[in-house]
Structure 1
């Protein structure tokens, strides 16, 4: 029996988001009662787990150049997601924040994506400390490069991990990671940042070569560090 059996969860994301749909499907297959909604349509019901999936600027009808508005929108929606978790301390509950994928830089640029990713990581760390006493865990899932995104690039990075299921990050990969973190199988994991990218985040030369070739960034190491969410 799954540890999600007969639990409730909300998956908050822009409408039609492929990753959110995959997460909801995976949760339902494990017996979880799932509500899939946008932040604006989220009901005030209290859930055992909440998964917040970050959309791209275009999913919020925001210009790529309007970074402050994009960050503000993401944090405001994430705050709504947090409020869906009760703070009665009567049970273990989970918040999972799915950050923008690294591959989103090909469409939205490094500045917007790295800024939002860093903001979500900072939020998760703060919530880990502030809400831990109420039995609430907070973790971040950091996707790598989706198949659709790499088609926009002229240079394909080398992914360290080889497999038969597909070279790049698949929505199901994110769904499985999010479901694990949302479940009681991860009951003592909080404040983690889980890279789901086949080891790409550890291969600085591979991702840097793509960034430079695409003209997204320069050889300045700080840009690469910021993009990958490392310090």
Structure 2
């Protein structure tokens, strides 16, 4: 699968922490009521059985939740170890190795997509191309749910849960993200912020729900 070489440190880092990540994060939706509500809203608007891309799916826990609530998810992750865990834990679902800049999917394959804390690993100049790539694999009118850490700057980890890694977490401004979405062919329909839940890292969280516009509807 084609990938961006600059993303190799992120890939290796998530390969390294995959099992630990699954143990610590794999049940996170159980204590995230707002996330569950937004995912439910996405499923309802996408329609019964709609194919939903889970971009940056990790060990597949969000895809599993989506499947339990009526969607037809396809998980995509940069990390082969994460994809292997997802396939092991959710053998009835489909998971693919892939890069946000080169998604392993056909044009218009999905009715909706979620990208929960996956674009935070992209460099600033990669955000807009990633959104354009997500737009490519969505049907006109398809919804995208984004979640990210609010703020500015970058947090670089060289140690994560006792493992040696090399991964950067970019904090994002929702206004700038909305501009990049608009430029990539989306219109933002909802924008939310919240404080961290007790089980989370102490960062404010941002959510954007955006709809892919058709070519005829685009103004730029």
For Structure 1 versus Structure 2, the TM-score category normalised by the shorter chain is 0.3 to 0.5
Which of the pair is proportionally richer in strand?
Answer: 2
Which of the pair is proportionally richer in helix?
Answer: 1
| Greater gyration radius | 1
TM-score normalised by the chain length of structure 2: 0.42
